[in-house]
A = this chain, B = another copy of it.
Amino acid sequence: MNVMLTTDGRETSATHGSYIKIRDMILTGELPAGQKLKIEELRSLLNTGASPVREALSLLTSDMLVERMDQRGFRAAPVGKANFAEILLLRCALEETALRASIAQADASWEEQLVLAHHRMQRAQGRDIQDFEQTHKAFHMALLKSHAMPMLERYCSQLYDLNIRYRYLAADGPSYRERSIEAEHREIFEAALDRDADAATARLLEHYRRTGDYLSQQLDH
């Protein structure tokens, strides 16, 4: 059989492997927004059959990274300022809810996971963008991690990913990391450790809105 391996060497199904790879290609822009996604091309690109590819595309449809046109195949979801603005607004609404719920039920284990995630993100600061991305997302998700709300976490994770695309789109401008991102993260982190829900959410939303303004401006070029 065609065994597919993830980056860490674990086996996965062809479907899951295709899902991860196609998703990555869309997020990074390797598959540009709006582009037709032909089964045959992806099939040969990923060295797999048509069924896993179709199934992966179906899954990506729910993540809103791929659009399905009935009887006319699939395409990478288009991007635009309106879409970006909606993502930002939804993230603010949902992450505020999630962060408050998270802090409300915070315990020692939650706190330790958060400390770890923050540390790893700092360590990854200098390394390549891929490494940083991963730890950055892990930190933000650790903030929102509450045992009670799996669906909310899923929505936040989806929206985080949708947002990544726009960072790649704006990547040719001055790096967004030149801002005081590090300080902003630490302030959110400390407010969360203090269980100060108001301060933590205020800083988190400010963090998103600043990044949002910057990216939105880049989109004009």
Interface residues of A (CB under 8 A from B): 12-13, 16, 51, 54-55, 58-59, 61-64, 70-71, 82-83, 86-87, 89-90, 93-94, 97, 148-152, 154-155
Contacts and interface: CB of A to CB of B under 8 A. Distances in A.
Contacts of A148: 82, 86
Contacts of A54: 51, 55
Contact of A61 (B51, B62, B97): B62
A55 B148 CA distance: 30
Contact of A70 (B13, B51, B97, B152): B13
Contacts of A152: 86, 89-90
Contacts of A151: 64, 83, 86-87, 90
A13 B71 contact: yes
Q: How many monomers of this chain does the complex have?
A: 2
Contacts of A16: 70
Pick the most buried of A13, A149, A151: most chain B CB atoms within 10 A of its CB: A151
A54 B148 CA distance: 30
